[in-house]
Structure 1
Amino acid sequence: MDMQTNAGAVRTRAGVVTATVRGHARRRLAVVAIVTTIVAVVFSASPVLAATATPTGAIDTVRAGLGTVTVRGWAVDRAKSAVSTSVRVTIGGRVAGTVPATTARADVNRHLGVRGKHGYSGSVTSAKYGKQSVCITALSLTRGKDVALGCRTVSIRNPSPIGALDRVAATPGTLTVRGWALDPDTSSASTDVTVTVGGTAIATVHTDALRGDVNRGHHVTGRHGFDTSLATTASGTQSVCAVAENVGTGTDTRLGCRTVTVPAVAPSPVPSPPTAPSTTAPTDDQDGGAMPAAASGWTRVFGEDFTTPAAPGGFMAAYGDRFVTYDGFNDTSGAGKYRQSALSVADGTLDMHMHTDASGQPTGAAFIPLVDGRWGGQTSGRYDLRLRADPVEGYGLAGLLWSDTNTWEDGEVDFPEGALDGTVTLSNHCPGNPAANCLHRDTGTTFAAWHTYTIEWSPAKLSFLIDGVTVASTTKQIPTKSLHLVLQAATMSEQKPPKDAAGDVQVAWVSISRAG
């Protein structure tokens, strides 16, 4: 098709094409003119959309708490105004966290003419305390820049425990520590304090003493003092330190250290062999002594001092109304068996005889006291055992509080426990997670001499004592289900003890009490 134009009629101005055409060629030229105009605009050196949207917002309040900061305000990214953004919080120049702006703020939406949720309100944990600058930044949802909304200055309280080690005194084998501790997170509750000697933990004590000076000075209630005697095997010049255990936010706090001189324990005299048979009655060091009256504040519900003799194999005939014994089944390690025949009573002492029998089977013994002649335990109480043991290789002893329903998750408390040729330990297995120990201590005491081992169990506290001296206590993960007392003497591992290993655990008396 022929197309004609007036040559002088075509003009260009500022990228706009004007032409005079004839016939149907006029429509074609109009299309070309439009395309040329679009191309000119797209590739223009001055873009039409030059601005980039950025967030905006405001800080309403900043409040400091105990190791935390709470912030409130609003933030919007105009590039995506229907979508919620977040704000970043810095404390003392350090990023403490982010808070989402996902709370409805009708006032913000009306003012900006947007929709969605754009209010923020939340708390972050601070690693810095005292007077600090808290800054808030609105975060971009696109490639735009984050925008600082401003800063506020607040004072943040340290949430870690506070306290002091006031005094440490030493006598042979014993340390007396006095001081106080409180945790601001739980200011009306008592606090656990770990005591170390020469860097080794020897006990955990509980702040169960009333300190009016502390309560008045810190405007708190409750019991925050400790003043207790602890057994120690250390001697000479020692550094004794106390550390308050943190609850909630914060960290453990060292309350202080004191250097003391611990006198050495005088060695027990070795008696000379008698030249003639002795007619003197046995002493407490020889037979463990008679069972004393119940401790103050406790009512005895079971007591046995083994005054009725019983030959090996005859224990249940004499004591069957007061005890249950293990007989004929494997011990915990599986290497030995419990036998009722390993129990006997003579001279006011129960003997649990460990040995390898004629068939090559390692043999031990175990018993459970029956309170009021019935099976079952208690949900609190005091348990006393006076005993000693020969250092028999491959065998061990475990005094324990065990679940009435044989459910390990109910909890397990062990004391005294350990290899008979080693030292006495104590443990509180965590209720609900008993594979973990919530408390474990090696007392450094051996089984060779007579000692009275005590567990005091209340709903709020668990304490362990040797000869009336506290060696550990805790207020954490206290069992709540009914537990009963068991004493087991058995093999220590899957490897059988030497065939000639033999000896006795000797029990002078057993006592179980209830509070009151």
Structure 2
Amino acid sequence: MGSHAAPHHHRKAFLVASAVVLTAAGLLGLPRADGAPAAADAADACRTTSVNLPRGDCGPFWQVLAEDFNGDVVPLGAFSDCEHDVDTSAAYCGGLSGSYRDNWWAYPTGWRDTANDRGRDVVGVYHPEDTVSVGPAADGDGRMTIRMWRPADGGPVHAAAVVPRAVMEMAYGKYSARIKVTKVAPGYKSAWLHYGGGCEMDHPEGEWTGSLTAFHHPCGGGEQGSFPGSDDWTEWHTVSTEWTPGHVRFFVDGRQIGQDTREVPDQPLSWVLQNESALEGPGAAPGSSAQLDITWVAAYAYDWG
């Protein structure tokens, strides 16, 4: 159910072969060698129940990004000139500076969103320069804001996909964020995903007028794993994906909503926080807009030890 804005080519990363002992897997909450979930799988590795940004390593993961957006303000217009080394770990946006230039990239202006390939009447084009900003909310909480909109003349939706650079082209890991759609309108959706080489993991995904859903598309094809939830996009939720060898698990507010062991990807992939025009239901109305707020993002590498 996810999408491809442009052809993606990922470099191979150095991976260390590892054998997991069943007893240790059970203690750490890792998948067993036979593919069944371990006893500790009832909750995510960080036991994420707090609204605050988690800090530090947890379970088999070591933290490589902890961003609460309480630092520098990034105004509209700064996420620009993003055509450098696209879709690689060297990618960057020339309009950004400081830590945001170091830590974030975005799909460049002009890339088309998924709806363009789905025969939709309303489609989208990525415009990070006029959809993505960072700054304090009314209560002072620092947030990354994704405000998508459709021009009054009925042109394409201005969409946004942002990418944490610390986990680009990385195999395995844990990926978490706390999010809320603070302004809802029909015709807008998210599909936060890892994909490539015929593999795809999506969480969260769905039209913003609906509920959070997760999907897993096995690398060799076959029936997708679909894990619909009852959680509303318009409430604050912590979403997490845990990707380990042979196993992917999806969490909302610390509870597992789905998991799969069928042909889970083993190659380096990037985490794309993709937001775009809807693939189901009505298209965005001319002059409409919708907004997603992200209050923190945390990402972790997988500890082979």
TM-score by length of 2: 0.69
- Structure 1 residue identity aligned to 2:164: P
Q: 1:189 to 1:493 in 2, by over 3 A?
A: closer
| Aligned match for 1:498, one of 275, 281, 285 | 285
User: What is residue 353 of structure 1 aligned with on the other side?
Assistant: 147
Aligned identity (percent) is 26
User: Which residue of structure 1 aligns with residue 261 of structure 2?
Assistant: 475
Structure 1 alignment gaps of length 5 or more: 1-187, 193-205, 210-225, 231-283
Q: Which amino acid aligns with 2:104?
A: F
Distance 1:484 1:388, change over 3 A: same
Q: Deviations over 1:11-62 (max 9, x none)?
A: xxxxxxxxxxxxxxxxxxxxxxxxxxxxxxxxxxxxxxxxxxxxxxxxxxxx
1:240-296: per-residue Cα shift (whole Å, max 9, x none)?
xxxxxxxxxxxxxxxxxxxxxxxxxxxxxxxxxxxxxxxxxxxx99xx644543434
Alpha-carbon shift at residue 498 of structure 1 (Å): 1.0
Per the alignment, residue 329 of structure 1 pairs with 111
**What is the alpha-carbon distance in structure 2 between the residues aligned to residue 493 and residue 461 of structure 1?**
28
Amino acid at match of 1:418: G
What secondary structure is seen at the aligned counterpart in 1 of 2:212? strand
Shift of 1:493: 3.1
Q: Is the 8 A contact 1:413 1:429 kept in 2?
A: yes
Query: Which residue of 2 is the match for residue 305 of structure 1?
Result: 68
SS at match of 2:96: helix
Give the distance between the partners of 1:490 and 1:438, measured in 2 at CA. 21
Cα-Cα RMSD: 2.6
Give 2:17's aligned residue.
none
1:370 to 147, 153, 165: 165
1:386–1:437: structure 2 CA closer, same or farther, 3 Å change rule? farther
Q: Which residue of 2 aligns with 1:432?
A: 220
Higher RCO (C-alpha under 8 Å, 6+ residues apart) = 2
1:190 CA drift (Å): 3.6
Check conservation: 1:427, 1:437, Cα contact below 8 A. no
- Amino acid of the structure 2 residue aligned with 1:329: W
Alpha-carbon contact 1:428-1:437 (below 8 Å) kept: no
Unaligned stretches of 5+ residues in structure 2: 1-31, 80-94, 117-122, 137-141
- Contact kept in structure 2, 1:438 and 1:476, CA below 8 Å: no
Task: Tell me the amino acid that sits aligned with residue 149 of structure 2.
Answer: H
Equivalent residue of 1:313, what SS? coil
Kindly indicate whether the alpha-carbon contact (under 8 Å) linking 1:300 and 1:511 is maintained by their aligned counterparts in 2.
yes
Structure 1 pair 456–500 and aligned structure 2 pair: CA distance change class (3 A):
same
When the two structures are aligned, how many residues end up with a matched partner? Answer: 234
Residue 360 (structure 1) shift: 2.9
Q: Once the 2 structures are TM-superposed, how far is the Cα of residue 299 of structure 1 from its aligned partner?
A: 0.7
**1:402 offset after TM fit, Å?**
2.2
2:55–2:63 contact (8 Å) kept in structure 1: no
Conserved 8 A contact 1:291-1:509: no
In structure 1, the partner of 2:131 is 342
Deviations along 1:174-208, one digit per CA (max 9) or x if unpaired, are xxxxxxxxxxxxxx95465xxxxxxxxxxxxx2x2
Structure exhibiting the larger radius of gyration computed from Cα positions: 1
Between the aligned partners of 2:162 and 2:223, the Cα distance in structure 1 is 24
TM-score scaled to structure 1, two decimals? 0.42
